[in-house]
Structure 1
Amino acid sequence: MQSDRQRIDKWLFFTRVVKSRTLAAELASSGRIRVNREKIDKPGYSIKLGDVLTIALDHRVLVYRVLDLGERRGPAPEAQMLYEDLSPPIEPRNKLSLAEPAPVKTGGDWKQARREVDRLKRSNDF
């Protein structure tokens, strides 16, 4: 018999957001999870179908709508059936690399700087 609620740490583990139940409990205790815009800080917090979870991980933010409560930690395709991903698209780290290559310094730029340094050295000779 499946109840209509589940502990958030179990659900995070079943959906493969984290690698272990202990890490799921630590994530829930850290205060980096919101359920329906309310910050939670207990791994025993009960979630239900339709809840929207906002999970702040180190390098990204996940937004999931709970579609089903799991019974086990199964393979990834089975885990993906437990939620709807509402996460914002991932921003590229370096926008310049997608647009056009960075301008390359030509020999003239370095040559001019070197000549300026040489000129300053000659003027300071004793």
Structure 2
Amino acid sequence: MEASSIVRIDKFLWAVRLFKTRSLAIEACKKGKVMMGGLPVKSSRVVKKGDVVAIKEPPIMRQYEVIGLAEKRMGAKLTPDFIKEVTPAEELEILRLTQIANTMNRGRGLGRPTKKERRDLDGFFDSGYESDD
């Protein structure tokens, strides 16, 4: 499935399923969320085997090493033949802890609090900080 020796980074990131659409990959490049060698890259940047691509996923930077090149989108099972995640374990642990903290705040699928729930929450938090002098 080796396409060619020249592949644009936006096309590659979309092909290996790091972004759902190519437009999202281009937008991430424009916003400076995709980096190579510590510098933000344009979406027209050519990617080569052995390059390390960093993608900002707050609060960390995920890093991937390019193993093979592809221009066409592939199935998820084929992506390990083209990229390898090289993000340090400490950073992945920070991401995992952040995700756990965010899910603890509100039950999954409950959406935004209603106006009544919001007033109840505000009353609960306000009463805890006030002193009864």
TM bin, normalised by shorter chain, reads: 0.5 to 0.7
Q: Displacement, 1:11?
A: 0.5
Q: Displacement, 1:44?
A: 0.8
Partner of 2:13 in structure 1?
12
Mapping of 1:3-42 within 5 angstroms?
Answer: 3-40=4-41, 42=42
Structure 1 gaps, min length 5: 96-116, 121-126
Per-residue CA deviation, residues 28-50 of structure 1 (Å, 9 max, x unaligned), is 1111111122221x211111111
Residues paired across the two proteins, number: 96
CA contact (8 A) 1:65 1:86 kept: yes
SS at match of 2:19: coil
SS at match of 1:65: strand
Q: Which moved more, 1:19-28 or 1:67-76?
A: 67-76
CA contact (8 A) 1:73 1:79 kept: no
Between structure 1 and structure 2, the one with the greater Rg is: 1
The structure with the greater share of residues assigned to helix is 2
Partner of 2:78 in structure 1?
78
Identity %: 27
Mapping of 1:1-126 within 5 angstroms?
Answer: 2-40=3-41, 42-89=42-89, 90=92, 91=94, 92-93=97-98
Q: Displacement, 1:81?
A: 1.6
Answer 1 or 2: higher relative contact order, Cα 8 Å, separation at least 6. Answer: 2
Please report the TM-score for the alignment, with normalisation by the length of structure 2. 0.63
Q: Distance in 1 between matches of 2:18 and 2:3?
A: 21
CA contact (8 A) 1:49 1:69 kept: yes
Please report the TM-score for the alignment, with normalisation by the length of structure 1. 0.66
Structure 2 gaps, min length 5: 102-131
